[in-house]
Amino acid sequence: MICSRIEYRDFRNIESAKLELSPEVTILYGKNAQGKTNMLEGVYLFAQGKSHRAGRDNELIRFGANAASLSMEYESGGRKNTLRLDISEGKHKTPYKNSVRLDRLSEMIGNFRAVLFSPEHLSIVKSGPSERRVFLDVAISQLRPVYMRTLQRYNTILMQRNALLKGAKAGRGSASLEAWSTSLAEYAAKIAVIRAEYTEKLSNIVSELYADMTGGREEARLQYHGTSRIGGDYGSEQRVREIYRRQLTENTEREIFLGSTQYGIHKDDVDITLNGKDAKFFASQGQQRSIVLTMKLAEGEYSKRETGEYPVFLLDDILSELDPARRSYIVSGIRDRQVIITSCDTSVKRRLRDGVCYCVKSGVPTLISKEQV
Ligand code: ATP
Ligand code: MG
């Protein structure tokens, strides 16, 4: 997967800009707050349909403008394609593929694939379960378009069930609760089975990479941990559905009291262990970072195995935070694929061999020639 060009209009602090990207390394360097991350965010929007950091789409539109637009050219399976995304104030984003308007944003997901390494991700091990769930959802939805729609359906049912629980607490009755529980359990099982399978495959790659990184001294593993509490055995969707259904129907009194759904995939987690112990409590900061980075490398590796192509790797200033040994492991781990790197550190330019380098200043990228590097 190669992103060959991206154009921005009124996106964040970028009024109008175009980047021609190297099929190998592209470096965006510049001082703080110039628009480097904004440029990566634009590329990532095509992979994920939403930003990794904006809560609302309006934040993506340049201050003072009322619409933003991004367009990209990419190559996949030897074919060139274009994607465009229009973002207008107060409206849903409008996606286009090869100039044809797509009905839904979810139809765009899975066309262009990218893995983002962002400083925000460095807390995946330490933070609460929701960030680990997002990690899985983001990775899986790029590989299985139907996954995102299933998740959206689940969230809609969850909202309705929660509204009913609140209503029941206020004395408005709960006659249809059982039907909602059955329906929620059905979608929960679909999602849990996919997440558990993905986690297991990813865990194998993570443990390989992590052992490699530490010379075999340390072992990292991941395991999906559902509220259905069935350990690693998610083989039968029917069985998982029954467990979720039972939890949802047997605890309604407590759920009505709390006014929200206490069981389901919105409560699930991923257990991350280092040498058999919970990494959240026992791994050092550097080890936690290394686990997250290997999870991200593994995400790319898994995507390559499933689709035959590496996704584009987007590295948002993460190398500067690593010690030289781990940094060189990551850099050597991302050879043979397209990488876009942001950095404040001009020494990063020295890594440039066959790549392209832009200096970003106030939202304007300037191509730096090889002689200037
Ligand atoms: P750093 O090195 O600190 O990470 P950066 O170059 O990655 O910096 P960005 O996060 O890309 O910086 O851009 C930050 C700038 O973009 C900020 O100054 C911010 O105010 C500006 N910005 C963010 N959203 C908008 C917007 N909607 N309109 C205009 N400017 C915006
Ligand atoms: Mg930045």
CATH 1.10.3720.10 given to domain 122-307? no
1-113+311-373 and 122-307: identical CATH topology: no
Top pLDDT among 330 and 284 is at 284
Q: Which atom of ligand 1 is nearest to the CA of 60?
A: 27
**Which 3-state string (H, E, C) describes 95-138?**
EEECCEECCCHHHCECCECEEEECHHHHHCCCCCHHHHHHHHHH
CA of 330 to the centre of ligand 1 (A): 26
* Whole-number percent of the chain with pLDDT over 90: 77
Q: Give the atom of ligand 1 at the shortest distance from the alpha carbon of 40.
A: 11
- Which residue from 10, 34, 39 has its CB within 8 A of the most atoms of ligand 1, so it is best to mutate? 34
How many angstroms does the Cα of residue 43 sit away from the middle of ligand 2? 14
Assign 94 to helix, strand or coil: strand
Cβ atoms of residues 74 and 83 within 8 Å: yes
b/e per residue 356-371 (b: at least 16 CB within 10 A): bbbbbeebbbeebeee
**What is the predicted pLDDT for the residue at 349?**
63
Phi, psi at residue 322, to the nearest 5°?
A: -105, 155
pLDDT tens for each residue of 251-280: 999 999 999 999 999 999 999 999 999 999
- pLDDT tens-place string over residues 331-347: 777 778 899 999 987 77
d(CA 119, CA 112): 22
The whole-number average pLDDT for the span 68-84 is 97
Q: State the architecture of 1-113+311-373 in CATH terms.
A: 3-Layer(aba) Sandwich (3.40)
Summarize pLDDT for 30-74 with one digit per residue, the tens.
999 999 999 999 999 999 999 998 889 999 999 999 999 999 999
Q: Which amino acid is at 290?
A: S
* 351 or 363, higher pLDDT: 363
H helix or E strand, kind and range, residue 45: helix 36-48
pLDDT (0 to 100) of residue 307: 95
Question: What is the structure's pLDDT at 351?
Answer: 62
Per domain, the residue ranges of the chain are 1-113+311-373, 122-307
Q: How far is the CA of 346 from the centre of ligand 2 (A)?
A: 14
Half-sphere exposure of 315 (CA within 13 A, CB side): 29
Average pLDDT for residues 222-251, to the nearest whole number? Answer: 85
Question: Which of 327-333's residues contact partners 24+ apart within 8 Å by CB, and which partners?
Answer: 329/212, 329/213, 330/293, 330/297, 333/209, 333/297
- Sheet with 2-11: list strands edge to edge: 14-20, 2-11, 67-76, 79-88, 94-97, 100-101
Beta strands in the chain, from DSSP E residues, in sequence order: 2-11, 14-20, 25-29, 67-76, 79-88, 94-97, 100-101, 114-117, 220-225, 269-274, 277-278, 312-316, 339-343, 356-361, 364-368
Distance CA 303, CA 110 (A): 11
Smallest CA-to-CA distance from 8 within 71, 58, 62, 53 is with 71
